[in-house]
Amino acid sequence: MSLIGEGVDILKLVNKAQNADLYKQIGEWIEKVLDLQKRNDELTMERNQLREQARFKGVLERVNGHTFVQGDDEEICPRCAEVDSRAVHLISVHSEHKPYQKAGCPDCKLEMSNNIPYTRALASRN
């Protein structure tokens, strides 16, 4: 093999090595971009949830210890409203404790002290 031939071969190897490094760096860069994209998606989702929670808490109304959503006269579960930012209407449930019927949450099973879910008008009277 001629010297020039060898040089060309070495040059090819150098180029390959440089390209391999470049490929490796591009690969790492792509991974970083994907990680950032994933993190951005997570933060966007978190922001939307916080926005929704803030909006929801803004429409909550408390009347003498009973919780309502603005424009809705049926009592909702204070725990689900506070913790999960969800409006779950209370229902009458069987209770182990007197008077054996309580307003309760069908979701988290919280029992209120009142025996039936209150309307806003009823809550206002107490």
- Out of 9, 38, 108, 126, the residue judged to bind Zn ion by CB under 5 A: 108
76, 93, 105, 123: residue in contact with Zn ion (rule CB under 5 A): 105
Q: Which of 26, 107, 124, 126 binds Zn ion (CB under 5 A)?
A: 107
The whole-angstrom separation of Cα 60 and Cα 58 is: 6
- Find where tokens 């919280």 sit: 110
What is the per-residue binding string for Zn ion in 58-97, x denoting contact by CB under 5 A? -------------------x-xx-------x---------
Tokens of 28: 């790492």
CB 57 within 8 A of CB 87: no
The 3-state secondary structure of 102-114, one letter per residue:
EEECCCCCCECCC
CB of 69 to Zn ion, least distance (A): 14
Which parts of this chain interact with Zn ion (CB under 5 A)?
77, 79-80, 88, 105, 107-108, 110
